[in-house]
């Protein structure tokens, strides 16, 4: 795929959705961090249902630690892997208090030292909370990048680095959200909705569902 076509793809995404953002509900970098940790192998909708109950009670590292493991587990038990996630969140809260003055750090290196935070989660925080032009490649972005041929790659990291290199600078901050939403609602896994896709004439997928 050439650069002119890629530019047109993101021009259309921007025209259709000028200010995309995450579907996770949050009011602070810390709330976003907790929500993203909870979202691993879970839907944003299920996370929002849980955090609507959790955050009014506990939305700081200190308040979540005060809940204790049993209290936190009870608040998030509707989410998959909730026991492991509760342990990671509590350990993260301790580190945030001890090492970062209860604030969410703003560097990838510091973020990835937090329990339950890998490269993808760090990229989401850096992009959504702090405005950095990072690319958090999840299953949706990996699929869209390969299927459309915007940035094909065999690994998540390969796709991430290709996207950062190939997406025009003016679109990089929002590209993460455009690609996730496109994969979630249009370029879905089993039967992509090519007939309603705004880039179906630019996409290089051979088996279009028109």
Q: Are 154 and 146 in contact (CB under 8 A)?
A: no
How far apart CA 179 and CA 103 sit, in angstroms, is 29
Q: Please identify which residue in the block is written with the tokens 């969140």.
A: 89
Q: Which residue has the tokens 């299920």?
A: 46
Q: List the one residue out of 136, 125, 132 whose CA is nearest residue 100.
A: 125
Of 200, 130, 134, nearest to 173 by C-alpha is 134
- The C-alpha atoms of residue 69 and residue 86 are separated, in whole angstroms, by 7
Q: Is 138 a catalytic residue?
A: yes
Please state, as a whole number, how many other Cβ atoms lie within 10 Å of the Cβ of residue 92. Answer: 23
Identify whether 208 is a catalytic site residue.
no
Catalytic residue among 14, 63, 87, 120: 120
| Residue among 135, 79, 89, 96 nearest 115 (CA) | 89
Which residues have a catalytic role annotated? 120, 138
């Amino acid at each position: 795929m050439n650069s002119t076509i890629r530019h047109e793809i993101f021009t259309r995404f921007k025209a259709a959705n000028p200010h995309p953002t995450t579907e996770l509900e949050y009011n602070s970098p810390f709330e976003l961090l907790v929500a993203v940790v909870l979202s691993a192998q879970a839907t944003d909708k299920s996370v929002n249902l849980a955090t609507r109950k959790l955050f009014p009670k506990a939305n700081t590292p200190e308040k979540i630690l005060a809940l204790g493991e049993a209290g936190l587990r009870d608040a998030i038990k509707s989410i998959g892997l909730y026991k492991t996630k509760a342990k990671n969140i509590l350990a993260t809260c301790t580190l945030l208090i001890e090492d970062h003055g209860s604030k969410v750090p703003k560097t990838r290196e510091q973020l990835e030292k937090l329990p339950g935070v890998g490269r993808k989660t760090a990229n989401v925080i850096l992009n959504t909370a702090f405005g950095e032009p990072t690319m958090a490649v999840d299953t949706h972005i990996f699929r869209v990048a390969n299927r459309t041929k915007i940035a094909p790659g065999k690994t998540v990291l390969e796709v991430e680095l290709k996207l950062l290199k190939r997406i025009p600078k003016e679109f990089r901050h929002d590209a993460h959200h455009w690609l996730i939403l496109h994969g979630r609602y249009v370029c879905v896994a089993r039967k992509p909705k090519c007939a309603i896709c705004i880039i179906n004439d630019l996409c290089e997928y051979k088996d279009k569902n028109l």
